[in-house]
Amino acid sequence: MQKLSLTGSTKHAADDQLRGLSVLFLDGDEVFIDNGAIHGKSRLETGVKFVQNRAEVPNGRTVLGLWITLHRFPEGQGFYGVQPFELFLDKEAQVGYKNLVEQVKGMEKAVRGEVNLAGVPQAARQKIVEYLQKVRPDLWQHAQPAFLEAMTSLGD
């Protein structure tokens, strides 16, 4: 008898390419895409027990995450929506805090093309801009104007 594979894959497979919805992290000086975060399975989240109260994370560090979406414009595919979120992690203690409700709301807004980088410092934006321009200059070139303006504005 032949065994049918109805679920496709038994392991979560997340490549690090920009898709319709992607997650970009800024962890210290490192900028990277980890689409496993869409399902709460990024390399940062693996092995971490998430708690309900940020105060329960003894020596946490803040990691900036961005939901980034793409859209096909008449000129070509480009960056569309962006919404920030934070992870507060203590990898050594394997504990962390994230506001899942706010993350889901931010993801939905990014999918709708809403752009918000309020609270994201200019230095962080610059690192993200450099990364996105290097990884996919074509998507940067065709980004919606609100995305470009938010990424390159001088305000925090």
User: pLDDT tens across 16-58, in order?
Assistant: 556 689 999 999 999 999 998 988 889 999 999 999 999 999 8
Residue 156: predicted pLDDT: 55
Q: Is residue 16 part of a domain?
A: no
Share above pLDDT 90 across residues of the chain, in percent, rounded to a whole number: 79
Closest CA to 23 of 64, 62, 65: 65
pLDDT tens digit at each of 156 positions of the chain: 444 444 444 444 444 556 689 999 999 999 999 998 988 889 999 999 999 999 999 899 999 999 999 999 999 999 999 999 999 999 899 999 999 999 999 999 999 999 999 999 999 999 999 999 999 999 999 999 999 999 998 655
Structural domain boundaries, residue 67: 21-152
Q: Is residue 33 part of a domain?
A: yes
Q: Is residue 43 part of a domain?
A: yes
The model's pTM is 0.84
Q: Is residue 74 part of a domain?
A: yes
Residue 50 CA from chain centroid, whole number: 18
Closest CA to 68 of 116, 30, 100, 28: 116
Q: Is residue 61 part of a domain?
A: yes
Q: Is residue 112 part of a domain?
A: yes
Q: Is residue 107 part of a domain?
A: yes
- Where helices occur in the chain by DSSP H, the ranges are 100-111, 122-135, 137-141, 145-152
Domain tally, the chain? 1
